[in-house]
Amino acid sequence: SAVISQKPSRDICQRGTSLTIQCQVDSQVTMMFWYRQQPGQSLTLIATANQGSEATYESGFVIDKFPISRPNLTFSTLTVSNMSPEDSSIYLCSVVREGVNREAFFGQGTRLTVV
C-alpha cells in the first residue's frame, strides 16, 4: 500500500484567487495523478504528474488553469488558478504502483469551495 498525505483537507477561497494543493507519498512512485470530483459526480482525471517534465493533461484541462509540479517521485502539487465557483470540487491525488498489483491509492482529498 501507499500512504498519501494531502493538504489542505479543505479550504474556502475567494473567486479570482489561486490555491495550491500538496500531495506527499511515503515512498517513491512513478505514476501520480490528480482527479477532480465535482459534487455528486464521479472522478475525472485532470492530469498525470510526470517527474521532471510537464504534466500530461486530459481533454478539457489546461496547464494555465491547473499547473502541476512534480519535483521528485514522492511529491506533487496542483494549483487551481483564477478560481470561480465552478471550481468548487474535491480534488484528489492518486498513485498507482507499477507491476501486477495495480490498485490506485488516494489521498483524503481537498474539498474546495469558491465563493
Partner 1 sequence: AQSVAQPEDQVNVAEGNPLTVKCTYSVSGNPYLFWYVQYPNRGLQFLLKYITGDNLVKGSYGFEAEFNKSQTSFHLKKPSALVSDSALYFCAAASGGSYIPTFGRGTSLIVHP
User: From the CB of 110, what's the least distance to partner 1, in Å?
Assistant: 10
Query: Could you say whether residue 92 binds partner 1 (CB under 8 A)?
Result: yes
Query: Could you say whether residue 103 binds partner 1 (CB under 8 A)?
Result: yes
Between residues 6 and 76, which has the closer beta carbon with respect to partner 1? Answer: 6
Query: Could you say whether residue 102 binds partner 1 (CB under 8 A)?
Result: yes
What's the CA gap between 25 and 105, in Å, rounded?
A: 10
Among 33, 66, 89, 112, binds partner 1 (CB under 8 A): 33
Burial of 55 per CB tally in 10 Å (0-12, 13-18, 19+): buried
Amino acid at 41: Q
